[in-house]
Amino acid sequence: MTNEKLDTNQKARQINLDAKRYGTFAEIGAGQEVVRSFFRAGGAASTVAKTISAYDMAVSDAIYGPTDYYVSRHRLQAMLDYEYNLLLERLDKTRGGKDAFFAFADTVATHREGGNGWMGVRFQAESGSDPSEVLIHVRMLDKESIRQQEALGFIGVNLLHGAFYSHREPEALIRSLLDNLTWERVEVDMISFAGPAFVHVDNRLMALQLVQQDLTEAAMFTAKGEAVQWGEVLYRKPVLVLRGSFLPMTRATMDVLERALEQFVREPELKGEPPVVLLEMTLRQLTTGEQIDETDFLNRANMLSALGKTVLVSNFRRFHRLAAYLSRYTKRSIGLAVGASKLAEIFDASFYNEDEGGMLGGLGQLFKNPARLYVYPHFDLPTGHKLTVENFPIPPDLRHLYAHLRENRFILGIENSSAELLTIRSADVLARIRTGDSSWEQLVPPVIAEIIKRDGLFGYRESPVTAARSS
């Protein structure tokens, strides 16, 4: 193969001419466009064993079993299970060992304000091999249904072509998903790789790749490293987010999270329901120079997994963009835990775009749903000044606005903060870790100290005293 970028028709044609690729297409809802691309390209008889469209829910349930949500990962997985197993049952004896089987499926809904759907392929990388799998969640951003359907056809062909010919280079597979498309038309906010073709793939790095390659502004994975989609995690649930570099997670950072959580769960509308807690890292916080060190990223992810938290990787520089994104997936309350020093950024007009309504438009996005800021005191080491919600130096022209937000409980000071933790700085802790100064262990939560030492994270060096004792 050459490095020349193929268009959708050429990709479908290449697959049709590949004598070993043979499989099933199952598309329900609005996603009827993928197999059509293969029929239009010509030669589909050598690729398509069967195609099925199931518009009627009763028909779909009769084939794949009942479900609460038709546009869901659960439904997609049921489709792939059924169609792939049926393909082997019917054709393995006659074509197994010669053909590399695959089952492609999608379940999609289009809407005037944009659509969304799940799409995946289960495939044999080589004839007779155990199957591997790629799943994605897509958002279609065009306003017309016909344009959304066209985009689905493109991305479906790109997914199949990438799985067949780029499975050894998952970053290239991700990069190819938007061939013949732009980010204004389609967003891919979740991708998951599984099976022997991807045994060395870390889905946390693939989430990072989605954001780095501009397929989405944010991607999410669980403490177990499993890729998840926003709606799966946040649907109808309150959510609390803590943004940080987590380099490393210190006792001070942990106190911000725990004290904010204590206040958030006391809000009347939560009625004691525990919220989803997300720890967010932005690309800016992960970048050194112009590069993101993947080992450093995984070090941080491993550390956060020890806390059992879901991790969000984003390209949100501004807090109101994060809040607006969260509001797509839940109408419940949103809490943002921040240090008091971040108030200067939030009330800096230069951080807002005029086409979004400037600062007022941005603050409107930030505080809807409702959303609240839980603000932890910040201690300035050089001056010894403690910055809080109460003494934050708001510019004169914004004092009435700030007072309004405080009086209506959109901005709340965190209660019961620990004075002894206010002087801890991540950069200082990191320096101690790297120089073998064991005093750092008292500045991070015990579970974090354990994993840093066990896995040698962040350039950990054993202190001379400890090394001498163990020798």
User: Tens of pLDDT along 336-378?
Assistant: 999 999 999 999 998 888 888 899 999 999 998 889 999 999 9
Cα torsion angle, 19, 20, 24, 30, sign? negative
In whole angstroms, what is the distance from residue 363 CA to residue 24 CA?
A: 49
In whole angstroms, what is the distance from residue 394 CA to residue 404 CA?
A: 13
Give the pLDDT confidence score for residue 96 in this predicted structure. 87
User: Is pLDDT of 3 > 60?
Assistant: no
Give the pLDDT confidence score for residue 31 in this predicted structure. 65
pLDDT interval class at 464 (50, 70, 90) = low
User: Is pLDDT of 90 > 70?
Assistant: yes
Nearest to 88, CA basis, from 53, 58, 145, 130:
130
Q: Give first-to-last CA distance, the chain, whole Å.
A: 55
Give the pLDDT confidence score for residue 436 in this predicted structure. 94
332 or 289, which is more confident: 332
Least confident stretch, 237-251, 281-295, 451-465: 451-465
**In the chain, helix, strand, coil percent, each to 5?**
45, 20, 30
Q: Which residue is associated with the tokens 């590949």?
A: 18
pLDDT interval class at 51 (50, 70, 90) = very high
User: Is pLDDT of 470 > 70?
Assistant: no
Mean of pLDDT values over 58-85: 94
User: Is pLDDT of 80 > 60?
Assistant: yes
57 or 119, which is more confident: 119
pTM: 0.93
Q: Quote the DSSP letter at residue 25.
A: E
Mean of pLDDT values over 195-199: 97
Give the pLDDT confidence score for residue 348 in this predicted structure. 92
pLDDT > 70 fraction of the chain, expressed in percent and rounded: 97
DSSP per position, 403-438: HHHHHTTSEEEPSS--GGGTT--HHHHHHHHHHT-G
Give the pLDDT confidence score for residue 289 in this predicted structure. 84
Nearest to 76, CA basis, from 46, 117, 40:
117
Cα torsion angle, 49, 53, 56, 60, sign? positive
Q: Walk me through the domains of the chain, giving residue ranges and CATH numbers.
A: 8-201 (3.90.950.20), 233-421 (3.40.50), 426-470 (no CATH)
Least confident stretch, 216-230, 253-267, 353-367: 353-367
Give the chain's mean pLDDT: 93
Give the pLDDT confidence score for residue 355 in this predicted structure. 83
User: Is pLDDT of 29 > 90?
Assistant: no
In whole angstroms, what is the distance from residue 102 CA to residue 84 CA?
A: 7
Give the pLDDT confidence score for residue 466 in this predicted structure. 58
pLDDT interval class at 273 (50, 70, 90) = very high
Mean of pLDDT values over 458-466: 77
Identify each DSSP E strand in 69-128 by its residue range.
Answer: 100-109, 115-124
**Does an H or E element contain 393, and which?**
none
Q: Do the strands 218-221 and 227-228 form a parallel or antiparallel pair, or are they unpaired?
A: antiparallel
Nearest to 378, CA basis, from 349, 408, 337:
337
Give the pLDDT confidence score for residue 400 in this predicted structure. 96
- The three-state secondary structure class of 364 is helix
Mean of pLDDT values over 399-404: 96
Give the pLDDT confidence score for residue 1 in this predicted structure. 44
Give the pLDDT confidence score for residue 347 in this predicted structure. 95
